[in-house]
Amino acid sequence: MNNTHTKAYIALAIICVTWGTTFLATRVGIQSIPPILFGAMRQTLAALFFFTVFFMRGGVLPKWHDMRMQVVAGLLMIAFGNGVVAWGIKYVSSGLATIICSMMPIWVILINLVSNSGEKLNWKIGLGTLMGFTGLALIFRDHLTDLQNRDYLFGIIVIVFASISWTLGTMIAKKNFTEKVSPFLSSGIQTLSGGIMLFIFSPFVDSYEHLKFDQNGLMALAYLVILGSAVSYTCYSYALSKLPTSVVAMYAYINPVIAVIMGWLILDEKLNGVIGISAAIILGGLYLVNQGFKTQTKKEEPELVKPNVAQLEYE
């Protein structure tokens, strides 16, 4: 392995760790700062980074016609997706939230089937989808008593809703992709539009009674903006330029594992055999789904696990 590949794999390792711990950092942050406000601050600061890089590289704004659907995608992905997840994590462990959100490719299949988009199933996609819901059912079965808690049930529903919203936003962003809008600009538009919407929602949803900008909250915010966005995207871009996309895409299978383990180690979140088996089944299903799309499209790697740059931490 040459020096370049070594650096690329180090960059990939950084991606796996940072994107695997962003839900954990979010859970720490919302202990001090209300979840919707926390998400609004985080996304707006991330938008400043993306816009700064875009203009420093000599970027020129395209016409509004080429950018407007990125605003819609940002509202679905960032406001109703990422922001609402932060709300749900208030009631559900960060590891469990990550596992549920890892099912995004499966939501894509179901949405396409419902919308009669001509989606065709092969045995890998079908089995992978079945495995995903089997794993999710095992998690719910292990938490049947917890579901009697209204807050916990609310958290689960909110996270599932956010995951589906993120999926819709991702599909819209992909459908309306144009080379006239650079990745940095599209990410800036999405995070800024989502951040502004979260600022608008915050007074109606959040309680500011216990708001405090203490060390833990500010450190969590800084971690998400600097490492979760700026550093991770830089590492992602570098790894993608030096390694096969299929190798870089493996982060999607590693992140949930890191999230569950770190939540257990740092926040003393529940970790048992059922959760481990459920996570393995869901990740196995995710792998089969992506392999099914790879076979179906006859391309080198599945596109579903290639994140939009605004997606930095979601999976």
Residue 112: pLDDT band with limits 50, 70, 90: confident
User: If pLDDT is split at 50, 70 and 90, which confidence band does 136 have?
Assistant: confident
pTM for this structure? 0.81
Across 36-50, 117-131, 274-288, the highest mean pLDDT is recorded for 36-50
How far is Cα 86 from Cα 74, in angstroms, rounded to an integer? 16
Which is more confident, 150 or 112? Answer: 150
CA distance 244 to 143: 39
- Within a domain: residue 243? yes
* Phi, psi torsion values for 122, nearest 5 degrees: -115, 180
User: How much is the pLDDT for 144?
Assistant: 65
Which pLDDT does position 254 carry in this prediction?
81
Whether 24 maps to a domain, the answer reads yes
CB 305 within 8 Å of CB 252: yes
Token pair recorded at residue 136: 């999710």
Assess contact for 144 and 300: CB atoms under 8 A.
no
Q: Is residue 55 domain-resident? A: yes
The region that residue 298 occupies, defined by phi over 0 for left and psi between -120 and 50 for alpha, beta otherwise, is left
Average pLDDT over residues 125-140: 82
Q: Residue 193 and residue 222: Cα distance in Å, rounded?
A: 20
Q: Which residue has the higher pLDDT, 143 or 99?
A: 99
- Binned at pLDDT 50, 70 and 90, residue 119 comes out as low
Counting the structural domains of the chain, the total is 1
Burial of 174 (0-12, 13-18, 19+ CB in 10 A): middle
Amino acid at 314: Y
Whether the pLDDT of residue 302 is over 70: the answer is no
Instruction: Say whether 61 sits in a helix, a strand or coil.
Output: coil
- pLDDT per residue as tens digits for the range 238-253: 887 787 766 777 777 7
In a domain, 315, yes or no: no
Greatest mean pLDDT among 113-117, 170-174, 281-285: 281-285
User: Taking 50 as the threshold, does the pLDDT of residue 315 lie above it?
Assistant: no
Query: Is residue 289 a contact partner of residue 167, using CB atoms and an 8 Å limit?
Result: no
In a domain, 11, yes or no: yes
Note the pLDDT tens digit of each residue in 12-21: 899 888 988 9
Task: Please check whether residue 244 lies inside any domain of the structure.
Answer: yes
112-126, 140-154, 206-220, 260-274 — most confident range:
206-220
Specify if 314 maps to a domain: no
Residue 313 covered by a domain: no
Q: Give me the domain span that covers residue 246.
A: 3-308
